[in-house]
Amino acid sequence: MASGEPSQAAAAPGTVDAAPWKIPRRRRKEVVAVLLFRGGPILESSIPLSVFGIDRQDAGVPRYRLLVVAGEDGPLQTTGGLELVAPHRLDAISRAGTVVVPAWRSITSPPSEEALDALRKAHEEGARIVGLGTGVFVLAAAGLLDGRPATTHWMYAPTLAKRYPSVHVDPRELFVDDGDILTSAGTAAGIDLCLHIIRTDHGSEAAGALARRLVVPARRTGGQERYLDRALPDEIGADPLAEVVAWALEHLHERFDVETLAARAYLSRRTFDRRFRELTGSAPLQWLTTQRVLQAQRLLETSEFSVDEIAERCGFRTPTALRGHFRRQLGSSPAAYRDAYRARNPVDFGALHTSPGPSPAPDDDEWPAPPPTTPIAPHRAQRGAGA
């Protein structure tokens, strides 16, 4: 059930919701402060500015009051050398009931203590804090995500999990609503979370009206699994477990389990599970299953192998196991996914190769959506619960 919507059905897959969070009256939720920094990409930074800063009352979208706040001194240089001048300084956050950090320039270093203190104080005083994409790292640096479930772009999830081990990182979700703290994955997922906030504040009709204006789905089904690729982030490459991860990716066609990986790492299963989660942000079995499904996805796109053959080449014990995991992760059967992919990518499939070579990973939101399926309600995150 979406936060703040007791009469709505369960939220769509790709989201995790918590119980409604009440913002104190002196901090009105309709007053939204967007915290900007130098080096933030302009597209991601502009999402909350567009969602909360444009008056669309004529379309049935309630109006928010926007405060654009500079997280540091001086003009804020962004994509292409553009410079932004924010009209408000950090003290303006004290007037906001919702504080959004849409982006941060570095996933390996935190912003100034002044900016982090402003976020901590806002949270202590009851403000709703929102991190979009790399902006989630700012929330983590402030300690606001300790012991909480959170998500970020799948590419940065392993780094988030490694740098902030007390955060319960779930790279599968498009966004996570943990009441007073909300986090999202990449660019398009930032729009998803902003729509969710409007839905929470003002109901589905208002969110739907804005979605129509933006020409985006009011709710997207599924999570980030369909966008993952097999590349290892740079930080992972320096970790001793990287060799085991690389071996697993090269041997997905073999039927091995997590015990095999733990043995290759010369670790007990318990220690291996803990170290692996710190490294990748996922439990080993969850990660391994996701990688097998991704390999199956590539073979469905690039080969003429039957589903039974693909199941064998991806290390699944039976075709039934492949079909079950594929549907749970991507919301479609393997056969239906192949049909949908080919319908959207008309080429001469008679000339497709039949070797399991990887396909280039598409950019965010370019992967073809599977056929519509009945949404399945996700688990509900609770404050302090594991992801």
Q: Domains along the chain? A: 15-223 (3.40.50.880), 226-351 (1.10.10.60)
Is the pLDDT higher at 361 or at 196? 196
The pLDDT, as a whole number, for residue 37 is 94
The residue that leads in pLDDT, 379 or 286, is: 286
CA angle 73, 77, 83 (to 5 degrees): 95
Distance CA 199, CA 177 (A): 12
Look up residue 383 and give its DSSP letter: T
At residue 133, the pLDDT reads 92
User: What is the average pLDDT across 128-149?
Assistant: 95
What are the pLDDT digits (tens) for 209-250? 998 988 888 877 666 655 555 455 555 555 678 788 888 888
| Greater model confidence, 98 or 343 | 98
**CA dist., res. 9 & res. 374, Å (int):** 12
The pLDDT of residue 234: 52
- Model pLDDT, residue 354: 36
pLDDT value at position 307? 94
Can you read off the two tokens belonging to residue 164? 């902030």
How far, in Å, CA of 18 to CA of 349, rounded?
Answer: 45
The set of residues, in sequence order, having a beta carbon less than 8 Å from that of 137 and lying 6+ positions away, is 104, 106, 107, 110, 131, 152, 156, 160, 163
pLDDT at residue 341, rounded to an integer? 80
pLDDT value, residue 335: 92
Q: What is the pLDDT of residue 362?
A: 36
Mean pLDDT across the stretch 369-375?
39
Distance CA 346, CA 348 (A): 7
pLDDT of residue 165: 84
Looking at residue 232, its pLDDT comes to 52
Cβ-in-10-Å burial (0-12, 13-18, 19+) of 136 comes to: buried
Q: Is the pLDDT of residue 142 over 90?
A: yes
Higher per-residue confidence, 92 vs 108: 92
